[in-house]
Amino acid sequence: MTKARVAMLLDNPLHPDPRVWREAITLSELRYDVTIFCQQEKELPDSEEREGVHIRRVFRYKLGTSVLVDKYLRAHFQLKEALEREEPFDIYHCHDTETWPLGYILSQEHQAKWIADAHEYFPDDLFRENYPDENKYQTAKLLIKNRGEYIRHADGVITVSEDIAHALQTEFQLPCPVTTIYNTRYKTDVVTIDKKLLRQKLGFTEHERVLVFAGFLRKDRGIPVLMELIGILPENFKLLIIGDGHYAQDVREAARINEKIVYAGMLPYQQMIEYVYMCDGYVNFRDVSLTKDIKNYRFQMPNKFFDAIFSDIPFFTYEGSSMDWYIHKYKVGRSFPVDQSLDEIAAVIQRDLSEGAYPEEKFKAAQEYFSWKSQTDKMSHLYESLQK
């Protein structure tokens, strides 16, 4: 017997969005009837069923379009019309601020509950260099601020880190329950291939030390810093970069002329976690000069961190984020002062890996704490509280 009907609202085509998908299939396993309403994409069907979850791709343009008002309005009309063709939902689970106003409206119209799911610290998360047009940047800031105000009316809030949860509770004086669901691994996202065999398959020798970065390739993610770091480390160190984005061409060119850099491009999720699994360490050094004034970077708990933990490899990063406490508590890597030289950082990484400072057993406690079972329990508790 199903518990309640849930509509998840999403401003992308779910291709992929691992966080949204993990939450959706978990709710389905908990016997909720879940339908995801999201953006259309040419290569994807408008309607499909996967693992007990209904997926409806119903609007062409993004809800979050900042200055193209006609497209912005059309997307909202298409989404609302699609929702109204269905039987009323009991809970509207709204991912990121773009969907919050409509979630609030629908909850009022149908005497339903709605959840604001904040994937970022939205009051301060825009990276200025992503907006070469000043008008678009200022408009985006204003829209996020105005949409974000709807969190005050949510029946429940989900965040990606405890620091974001505390910040939003304080800033908006939230009376509703606030739950942190980490961007950790889903229970079936495991790698069982032998690490040595996988390394051989991918062309790395047992004598090489492979550091990895996987994600969107932007300057603020510190890609130039990583390429400088690998240049300092000994010749048997390699830097594997996975992903796509604005900085992809620079990475591709660097890999062409520097044999210490390997660029794998964009990979399907399962293949990506296999690549990470066979590496020796994860490197994540943001560009401090570009990000020091953006609060969202201080509150982050990115999926990169969990990819490292569940691959039994250390995570090396700068201090100043929500990860610091967990890195220290579980001893699953190092967070370096932002003013420490790359030469000193390289020396520490080299020493740690050569001395075998991170045996697999060190990661077990962190894996248990961040397990998907723990996230499932928290989500179940939140949903049950909304139906009392």
Among the listed residues 302, 310, 330, the one whose alpha carbon sits nearest the alpha carbon of residue 372: 310
Number of structural domains (the chain) is 2
Whether 190 is in a domain gets the answer no
Q: State the Cα angle at 29 between 162 and 380, rounded to 5°.
A: 35
Instruction: Give me the CATH number covering residue 94.
Output: 3.40.50.2000
3-class SS of residue 368: helix
- 215 in the same domain as 110: no
pLDDT computed for residue 67 by the predictor? 66
- Give the pLDDT score at 206: 87
| 379 and 264, same domain (yes or no) | no
Q: Which two tokens stand for residue 3?
A: 């518990």
Examine the domain organization and report whether 209 and 136 are in the same domain.
Answer: no
| 55 domain residue, yes or no | yes
**pLDDT of the residue at 388:** 79
Q: At residue 121, what is the residue type?
A: Y
User: pLDDT value at position 316?
Assistant: 98
CB 370 within 8 A of CB 306: yes
* 262 and 159 within one domain: no
Q: pLDDT at position 66, please?
A: 66
Tell me: do 150 and 291 sit in the same domain. no
Residue 223 placed within a domain: yes
180 and 286 share a domain? no
Q: What sections of the chain are H helices per DSSP?
A: 18-29, 69-84, 100-109, 134-148, 162-172, 195-201, 223-232, 248-257, 269-277, 288-291, 295-298, 303-309, 323-330, 342-354, 364-369, 372-386
Q: What is the DSSP letter of 185?
A: -
Output the six-digit token pair for 305: 């961190």
What is the mean pLDDT for each group of 10 consecutive residues in the chain (388 residues)? 89 91 96 97 95 96 79 92 94 96 96 97 82 82 92 98 96 97 91 88 91 91 94 97 93 95 94 95 91 87 95 96 95 96 98 94 94 97 93
Task: Say whether both 380 and 359 belong to one domain.
Answer: no
pLDDT recorded at residue 60: 93
Regarding whether 349 and 377 lie in a shared domain, the answer is no
What's the domain range around 243?
195-369
CA distance linking residue 334 with residue 214, whole number of Å: 18
Same domain, 219 and 320: yes
User: Do residue 339 and residue 382 come from a single domain?
Assistant: no
> CB-hemisphere CA count at 13 Å for 222?
23
Q: What is the 3-state secondary structure (H, E, C) of 236-283?
A: CEEEEEECCCCCHHHHHHHHHHCCCEEEEECCCHHHHHHHHHCCCEEE
In a domain, 168, yes or no: yes
Domain check: are 105 and 68 in the same one?
yes
Q: How many CB atoms lie within 10 A of CB 222?
A: 22
pLDDT of residue 212: 98
Looking at residue 134, what is its pLDDT? 86
Same domain, 141 and 256: no
